[in-house]
A and B are shown apart, each in its own frame.
Chain A
Amino acid sequence: DAGVIQSPRHEVTEMGQEVTLRCKPISGHNSLFWYRQTMMRGLELLIYFNNNVPIDDSGMPEDRFSAKMPNASFSTLKIQPSEPRDSAVYFCASSKKQGSTDTQYFGPGTRLTVL
């Protein structure tokens, strides 16, 4: 299996621009998670989906952030408009079944820099 796939791996944009991060979970996995990692705050859960339905988005920092999962093999995290404080590494993870007792498999991450 190819594992969780994220694109792009690196993104540099200017403040105010829209940014879209993409994730393809492992085939057959029913839960998908978006995390953000910074030195200051560590790894934070933003939102997670189960069977393509958003279950908990309480970690989404502001209305500028939105996430979708139109089907079982694709999810996006969008930031509009982007700000310098959004600079971080964004990880997508998937797991086979609902419930965080299950092992989460992380993608390689997207390093976002907002100038």
Chain B
Amino acid sequence: SQKIEQNSEALNIQEGKTATLTCNYTNYSPAYLQWYRQDPGRGPVFLLLIRENEKEKRKERLKVTFDTTLKQSLFHITASQPADSATYLCALEKGGGADGLTFGKGTHLIIQP
């Protein structure tokens, strides 16, 4: 099964700067990768999906890259705002021919004004 590593320590970024979060995975390379945002006391909310044949994907101030050689995805938030403070989860297909997602434990991002 897939194993996902995200930086478990909180990431503190000053407002206006670019925040970069890392998702590393082991074992096989997935066909796609998803990023979710989770606020305290709430369920995860889907942000972006990137496929293995896509190097980069953008949505407003968000950018995701996918490097299947490094087995890594980077998630960028440009012009960060305090409202971007949340936990960000990386998710991959569970594998073994099964549907369902395997999630990383998430990185807690804090944008300081």
Contact = CB atoms under 8 A, between A and B. Distances in A.
Interface in B61-113: 89, 93-94, 98-106
B99 A106 contact: no
Nearest to B101: A100
Contacts of A55: 98-99
A96 to B, nearest CB: 12
Interface of A is mostly: strand
Given A50-B99, A109-B43, 11 more contacts: A33-B100, A44-B103, A45-B102, A48-B100, A56-B94, A98-B99, A99-B99, A103-B49, A105-B46, A106-B45, A108-B43
Contacts of A58: 98
Contacts of A93: 43
Interface of B: 31-32, 41-46, 49, 89, 93-94, 98-106
Contact of A104 (B31, B32, B101): B101
Nearest to A99: B99
B43 A101 contact: no
B98 A107 contact: no
A61 B93 CA distance: 20
- The residue among A33, A45, A98, A100 with the most chain B CB atoms within 10 A of its own CB is A100
B103 A43 contact: yes
30 contacts: A33-B101, A42-B105, A43-B44, A43-B89, A43-B103, A43-B105, A43-B106, A44-B103, A45-B101, A48-B100, A55-B98, A56-B94, A56-B98, A56-B99, A59-B100, A100-B94, A100-B99, A100-B100, A101-B31, A101-B32, A101-B49, A103-B49, A104-B44, A105-B46, A106-B44, A106-B45, A108-B41, A108-B42, A108-B43, A109-B42
B49 A42 contact: no
